[in-house]
Structure 1
Amino acid sequence: MKSSESVPSESVPSETAEDQRSEPGQLTGAVVIVALVSAISGMLYGYDTGIISGALLQITEDFSIAELWKQVIAASILLGAVIGALTCSYLSDKRGRKGTLVLLAVIFAVGALWCAVSPNPILLSLGRLVLGFAVGGATQTAPMYVAELAPPKYRGRLVLCFQIAIGVGIVIATIVGASEAIGWRWSIGAAAVPAALMLALMLRLPESPRWLVKNGDNDAARAVLERVRPSGYDLDRELNETAELARAERTASTRGWSGLREAWVRPALILGCGIAIFTQLSGIEMIIYYAPTILTDNGFDTSVALQVSVALGVTYLVAQLVGLSIIDRVGRRRLTLLMIPGAAVSLFALGLLFVTGNSGRESMPLIIGCLVVFMLFNAGGLQLMGWLTGSETYPLAVRPAGTAVQSAALWGTNLFITLTLLSLITAIGVGPSMWLYGLFNVAAWVFVYFRMPDLTGRSLEEIETKLADGKFRPADFAR
């Protein structure tokens, strides 16, 4: 049971038919620009993490490094992401969502230029650590910023623009890597350009109205809503809901990091961190980071391996676009449950090819087919949920802390996988490693089935009310 000082269930009304009629029927230009900035930060995430896949082949030759340094260079951005996610929780709460994103845009640019001029693997790893800080901070802050500015009707699709942009960044990175005509320094340093654009746009955007209300500036919050909502929209209803919730939370025991320990908040934390961990254990980063390395180690030509990497990046993007177009009709929970089995089966089939010795050039179509099918089902299902759950699941008073823990869980799992995957493959082989990740997908399906309610179309306030009432199981959100 939650504390008697926690948010009372009647403090936030759920959406009624009248409420839904007052939702904006169209998006304003300001909200579209907010989504665009979030998309740029997502693209930088996808590009900065994905570019190492092809660049690592050039870096290995330039620096004459072995397997250990390959893993360190690839993983250093992930360690930085853990630090960035945890640090930016504090910054987004104290400086605001906008101020934090402005700082991250600067760090994105500095980190990209640092990596581009690094003379040795040590400084390159440190530069990627700096880049990782921006990546982790953006994944913690950008989806939350969009979710707090977007109307409920469009929140899912706008937050998922961040996820789609990750796919765009990955595709661009794989194309650049496959060209083999661009040196790795230029390809990594080029990320400074979109970072500068992100900074220019962020300086023109407003602060989150929910953050402003939380900090007692209702007049500024109203001004923001007037800017980001169409004419005729019921601003008073949204402001009153947010203000009432903020007042209750200021006097509640459930606040900040300590609030995450409250029993009534725990289901949100379990869901958010569980989804974050399974998005990584499902095998997506294994394929993105190391597909060219795995393929070349098993006899594929470098050019073929890089072309496969491009195909996987394009598949990732297409799957996410399709998922984005249907998610509000199919529902988050149902889509995820439908897609995970396909990813699991493809990994089991891929593992079987390697275990039975059918991993040579004659089996190239089957291997590529398994990789593409995995990417299709994984990117179009479970990956869509990674950032969306964090942006809409946590109560306002603990949202920065909750999203920080979720981001840290995601990046920590990613870091562990990246640091150990090549060693794991050396120890047990490619086939058994694929089977292991296939089993992780089975576990992910079980977790989603029992733990993930369908939050499609629910306002942030309604979600919080359900959580406060102890009704956060899938059956509690059935329509």
Structure 2
Amino acid sequence: MSTIDDAASDAARDAARDDAAARQRTPGQLTGSAIVVALVSAISGMLYGYDTGIISGALLQITKDFQIEENWKQFIAASILLGAVIGALTCSFLSERIGRKTTLLMLAVIFAVGALGCAVAPDPLLLSVGRLVLGFAVGGATQTAPMYVAELAPPKYRGRLVLCFQIAIGVGIVIATIVGASESVPWRWSIGAACVPALLMLGLLLRLPESPRWLVKHDDRDRAREVLARVRPENYDTDGELEEMAALAREEETANTRGWSGLRKAWVRPALILGCGIAIFTQLSGIEMIIYYSPTILTDNGFDESVALQVSVALGVTYLVAQLVGLSIIDKVGRRRLTLIMIPGAAVSLFVLGALFVTGNSGRDSVPFIITCLVLFMLFNAGGLQLMGWLTGSETYPLAVRPAGTAAQSAALWGTNLLITLTLLTLISGIGVGPSMWLYGLFNVAAWLFVYFRMPDLTGRSLEEIETKLAKGEFRPADFAR
């Protein structure tokens, strides 16, 4: 029996695909409920960007208030990432067991509690615990929110609504850098302010339904039909979509390759290597190093605090602009081609930046050059490799192992982020800023080689086509050449 037969019968898959394609062509407008679903996802993405980005500027104030050294700085910054690893893995299980909406309701409460806990923390240890709690919500949101939107959004608008999450991350980072650069907002207020959008997210979720796909999987087709009628425009073929969901649910129940054990199957392994490899390289490329620590690195090397914080704002804005531009052209240029074009620019930026520090050209006269290198790095990195981090998870894994695959990929991303954040300042103290930048430049070279040899171009390919190629062992770049 062929491996693709493990996933589903060809007849059921073809029928579901034909029905989905017909609905994709069906005109219709977004309902108010569908827009609110996208708004909830956007708020969770903004909280992700804000809660991870606010530490960049706040760390300067926290250092003065608590009189802490590099080890504590790293621990405070990294604690949110440890929580994110735990949250991503835990919420993969919870979203399947208790539902997407219920999981997001829980995460909204945790977002608010974590933000308030950080705001009133009397010492660095309890601040770190508060950020660990926040991290659980961040990791859980990255696992659950895009999936919730994808399962509720009309097929015609699914891609655009899911992308609201990724764009909102950039918005959150920009807001965090602006708040941090103001210098007039105490760090307790800036961190605690995140409870406001968290409570808004909670209020909106209370008005929203559960995912219809989750309801179908749990044999509640009547409620699923009611949900579809609520989030689809009038005269939409909700019965046809409901049948498709039921067919896919049956496929998952009868598949031999499914869940965490399915990730160990030989034919699934190339997807796991690609997804986790891309996730790891998005972090090894240096993006979080720049977002978290650029103000600290610059002030430690003689820059005025106000200049360092203004640079942080410029980097946040560049991140958002690069993401918007990248998302607008990615389907035209192609995922693989765009990534291969952009990575060398990021690598060269880090090599030049490292050379400025190694040669002693890091004083006031070199400020424009240093800022230019940082901005160019952010432009090339955010507009290329960073786009692939979450996108590959939604496209690469077979249907029956997709929740487990995306959870493993999220854990790999957050785990690598955690390792970098815990070691970066120690690394810089040991070998200096310049050699550290060179090391991350070499990571970008390794990322380019990984993409070149392992990442096929999935642009324009249906999920069924990708899964079929994977099952046949045709998952190298050459196998997807047109």
Query: Normalized against structure 2, the TM-score is what?
Result: 0.93
| Counterpart residue number, 2:438 | 435
Take 1:463 and 1:237, find their aligned partners in 2: how far apart are those partners? 24
| Counterpart residue number, 1:453 | 456
Give a deviation string over 1:186-219, Cα, whole Å, max 9, x none. 0000000000011111122222233223223333
**2:149 equivalent to 1:158:** no
Within-5 A mapping of 1:335-350: 335-350=338-353
Quote the offset at 1:29 in angstroms: 3.1
| Counterpart residue number, 1:19 | 21
Give a deviation string over 1:157-213, Cα, whole Å, max 9, x none. 322221111111111111111111010100000000000011111122222233223
**2:212 equivalent to 1:216:** no
The answer to whether the 8 Å contact 1:8/1:468 transfers is no
The answer to whether the 8 Å contact 1:7/1:252 transfers is yes
1:312 to 312, 315, 318: 315
Within-5 A mapping of 1:65-104: 65-104=68-107
1:243 to 243, 246, 266: 246
- The structure 1 segments of at least 4 consecutive aligned residues displaced by more than 6 Å after TM superposition are none
Quick one: structure 1 residues 222 and 452, their matched pair in 2 at CA, closer, same or farther if it must change by over 3 Å? farther
Q: How many residues align?
A: 479
Take 2:22 and 2:380, find their aligned partners in 1: how far apart are those partners? 33
**2:163 equivalent to 1:180:** no
The one-letter amino acid paired with 2:283 is Q
- State the percentage of identical aligned residues: 82
The one-letter amino acid paired with 1:95 is I
**2:348 equivalent to 1:362:** no
Take 1:19 and 1:4, find their aligned partners in 2: how far apart are those partners? 22
The answer to whether the 8 Å contact 1:97/1:208 transfers is yes
Quick one: structure 1 residues 440 and 77, their matched pair in 2 at CA, closer, same or farther if it must change by over 3 Å? same
For structure 1, which segment, 20-29 or 247-256, has the greater mean C-alpha deviation from structure 2 after superposition? 20-29
| Counterpart residue number, 1:7 | 8
Take 2:229 and 2:459, find their aligned partners in 1: how far apart are those partners? 25
Q: Which consecutive unaligned segments of at least 5 residues does structure 1 have? A: none
The answer to whether the 8 Å contact 1:9/1:469 transfers is no
The answer to whether the 8 Å contact 1:156/1:328 transfers is no
Take 2:194 and 2:469, find their aligned partners in 1: how far apart are those partners? 41
Quote the offset at 1:363 in angstroms: 0.5
Say what the alpha-carbon RMSD is for the aligned residues: 2.2
Quote the offset at 1:151 in angstroms: 4.3
SS of match in other structure, 2:207:
coil
Take 2:467 and 2:220, find their aligned partners in 1: how far apart are those partners? 22
1:46 to 26, 49, 56: 49
Give a deviation string over 1:261-320, Cα, whole Å, max 9, x none. 122322222222111111111100000000001101111001100010011001111111
For structure 1, which segment, 334-343 or 350-359, has the greater mean C-alpha deviation from structure 2 after superposition? 334-343
| Counterpart residue number, 1:407 | 410
Query: Normalized against structure 1, the TM-score is what?
Result: 0.94
The answer to whether the 8 Å contact 1:153/1:457 transfers is no
SS of match in other structure, 1:264:
coil
For structure 1, which segment, 325-334 or 114-123, has the greater mean C-alpha deviation from structure 2 after superposition? 325-334
Quick one: structure 1 residues 107 and 434, their matched pair in 2 at CA, closer, same or farther if it must change by over 3 Å? same
The answer to whether the 8 Å contact 1:46/1:167 transfers is yes
The answer to whether the 8 Å contact 1:24/1:230 transfers is no
For structure 1, which segment, 100-109 or 458-467, has the greater mean C-alpha deviation from structure 2 after superposition? 458-467
The one-letter amino acid paired with 2:21 is D
| Counterpart residue number, 1:255 | 258
The answer to whether the 8 Å contact 2:282/2:386 transfers is yes
Quick one: structure 1 residues 22 and 194, their matched pair in 2 at CA, closer, same or farther if it must change by over 3 Å? closer
Larger RCO (CA within 8 A; separation ≥ 6): 1
**2:138 equivalent to 1:135:** yes
The answer to whether the 8 Å contact 1:160/1:384 transfers is no
